[in-house]
């Protein structure tokens, strides 16, 4: 295989990986901070994609305009969902394990709700629209313009989130909460405000990913589930609570998938991801990018 073919392959892997990273960052924020494993995360991605599609085809808005819009809408939805569904759980669960299990079940119900709502409103057929489909040339290689844009934006937003967490006071508060929930509250960091805020940001990120996805791929109500699973795989690869790890893990997984699919078969994509997942869990359960410790 020629060098350009290799680069094209890896590049396409990176592009998918960028989306994975974005979704994983959102999930990481929710799980790392609040221990809510939002199995419906992919559904909100799908919702973001559908909102963008609807705005583009029905209202004629540019998808780029929908980026902040879908983020904003989903952020609001996230805050409401957290208030309605998850806040009560923190008060009534006896242990962390019970809270996690119940959080999982609530998000399971949300998954049903959102997926079927979309299916009912917009029907189950595949939808899509064209945006920036002209190819861009780099020497002898070519990529679709929209795919390049998606990659650039995904990286931009991921980096933005990481910067937010690292350099702002808010971000420092979030990281403090992740490391020590009680200690952080003792120094005055307000969980009551931060939790819904971060939950909303998490959902907003996934909507952003959906919006980006809708630019390049067709969308369907069931498209969200694979991304939830992939996001979890990425979080495991990168280590829980580690934002940089989620970014690196997402890109890595995208490349691994692209290479694997090329050399074996596209339908084995899931098998490949799962294989990587299980391998990482068995060998380095704390993640690829953390230092090794031992626990029975």
Partner 1 sequence: MSDVAGPLLEARHVTVRFGGLIAVDDISASFGAGELVGIIGPNGAGKTTFFNALSGVMVPTAGRLLARGRDLTGARPHRYARHGIARTFQTPRVFAEMTLAENVRFGLRFAGRRRRAETWGPAWLAAWIDRVGAPWPWRRRPGVSWLLRNELSILNVIGLAHLADMPAAAVTPSQQRLLEIGMALATRPRILLLDEVAAGLTESELQDMAQLIRRVRDELDITVVWIEHAVTTLLRHVERVLVLHQGRMIADGTPAEVVRNAEVIEAYLGDEMVEEGVA
Partner 2 sequence: MPERKVLWRDLLVLAALTGWALALPHYASEFVASLALTCFMYIALASSWALFCGLSRYLSLATSAFFGIGAYTSALALEHMPWLHAVALGALLAAAVALLMGAAVLHLRGTYFAVLTFGMTELIRHALSYFEKQVSGTVGRVLTIVPERNTVYLTVLALAVLALATSIAVRRSRFGLALAGIGSDEQRAQTLGVGTRSVKTAGFALTAAFAGAVGAAMAVRWTYIDPPTVFNPFIGFQTVLIALIGGATTLWGPLIAAIVFSLLAETLRLQLPQLYMMALGVLLILCVLHLPGGVASLRWSTFAAWWRDTRQWWRERREEDTEQERKARRQRDRETRNV
Residues of this chain that bind partner 2 (CB under 8 A)? 37, 39, 85, 88-89, 92, 95, 97-98, 100-102, 104-106, 108-113, 115-117, 119-120, 225-226, 228-229, 232, 236, 265, 267-271, 274, 277-278, 281-282, 285
Token pair of 78 as six digits: 């996230």
Task: Give the count of residues interacting with partner 1 (CB under 8 A).
Answer: 7
The one of partner 1, partner 2, none whose footprint includes residue 294, by CB under 5 to 8 A per kind, is partner 1
Cβ distance to partner 2 smaller for residue 152 or 271: 271
Nearest to 97 by CA among 159, 35, 21: 35
91 lines the binding site for partner 1 (CB under 8 A): no
In whole angstroms, what is the distance from residue 157 CA to residue 160 CA?
Answer: 5
Interface stretch with partner 1, choices 100-108, 132-140, 184-192, 287-295 (CB under 8 A): 287-295
- Interaction mask 51-90, partner 1, x per CB under 8 A: ----------------------------------------
| The entry of partner 1, partner 2, none that residue 89 binds, CB within 5 to 8 Å by partner kind | partner 2
User: Cβ closer to partner 1: 2 or 293?
Assistant: 293
Question: Is residue 294 a contact residue for partner 1 (CB under 8 A)?
Answer: yes
283 binds partner 1 (CB under 8 A): no
Q: Contact 40/107 with Cβ under 8 angstroms?
A: yes
- Tell me how far apart the alpha carbons of residues 201 and 198 are, in angstroms, rounded to a whole number: 5
155 close to 142: Cβ distance less than 8 angstroms: no
Least distance between partner 1 and beta carbon 245 (Å): 15
Q: Which of 3, 94, 186, 283 binds partner 1 (CB under 8 A)?
A: 94
295 binds partner 1 (CB under 8 A): yes
87 phi and psi, to 5 degrees? -60, -40
Closer residue to partner 1, CB minimum distance, 218 or 290: 290
User: According to the binding rule CB under 8 A, does residue 282 interact with partner 1?
Assistant: no
Annotate 72-103 with three-state secondary structure: HHHHHHHHHHHHHHHHHHHHHCCCHHHHHHHH
Q: 140 contacts which partner out of partner 1, partner 2, none, CB within 5 to 8 A by kind?
A: none
CA separation (Å) from 123 to 42, 120, 127? 18, 6, 9
**Judged by CB under 8 A, does residue 293 bind partner 1?**
yes
- List, in order, residues 6 or more apart from 110 with CB less than 8 Å away: 38, 40, 43, 81, 85
- Helices 243-263 and 3-34: crossing angle, nearest 10°? 140
**Contact indicator for 24, 227 with CB cutoff of 8 Å:** no
Contact stretch for partner 1 (CB under 8 A) within 78-86, 122-130, 140-148, 286-294:
286-294
Nearest distance, CB of residue 296 and partner 1, angstroms: 5
Q: Considering the rule CB under 8 A, would residue 296 count as an interface residue with partner 1? A: yes
Say how far apart CA 207 and CA 202 lie, in whole Å: 9
Interacting residues with partner 1 (CB under 8 A):
94-95, 291, 293-296
């Amino acid at each position: 295989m020629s060098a350009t073919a290799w680069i094209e392959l890896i590049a396409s892997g990176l592009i998918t990986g960028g989306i994975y990273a974005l979704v994983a960052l959102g999930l990481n924020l929710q799980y790392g901070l609040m221990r809510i494993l939002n199995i419906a995360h992919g559904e909100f991605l799908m919702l973001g994609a559908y909102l963008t599609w609807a705005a583009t085809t029905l209202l004629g808005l540019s998808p780029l305009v929908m980026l902040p819009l879908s983020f904003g809408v989903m952020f609001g939805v996230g805050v409401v969902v957290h208030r309605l569904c998850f806040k009560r759980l923190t008060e009534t669960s006896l242990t962390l394990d019970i809270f996690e299990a119940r959080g999982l079940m609530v998000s399971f119900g949300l998954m049903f709700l959102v997926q079927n709502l979309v299916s009912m409103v917009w029907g189950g057929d595949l939808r899509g629209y064209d945006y920036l489909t002209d190819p861009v040339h780099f020497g002898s290689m070519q990529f679709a313009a929209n795919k390049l844009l998606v990659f650039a934006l995904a990286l931009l937003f991921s980096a933005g989130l990481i910067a937010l967490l690292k350099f702002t006071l808010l971000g420092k508060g979030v990281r403090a909460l992740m490391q020590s929930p009680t200690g952080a509250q003792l120094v005055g960091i307000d969980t009551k405000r931060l939790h819904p805020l971060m939950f909303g940001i998490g959902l907003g990120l996934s909507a952003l990913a959906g919006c980006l996805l809708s630019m390049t791929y067709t969308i369907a109500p069931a498209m969200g589930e694979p991304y939830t699973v992939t996001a979890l795989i990425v979080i495991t690869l990168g280590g829980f609570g580690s934002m940089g790890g989620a970014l690196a893990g997402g890109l890595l997984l995208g490349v691994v998938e692209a290479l694997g699919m090329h050399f074996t078969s596209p339908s084995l994509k899931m098998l490949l991801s799962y294989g990587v997942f299980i391998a990482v869990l068995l060998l380095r359960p704390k993640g690829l990018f953390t230092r090794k410790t031992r626990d029975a």
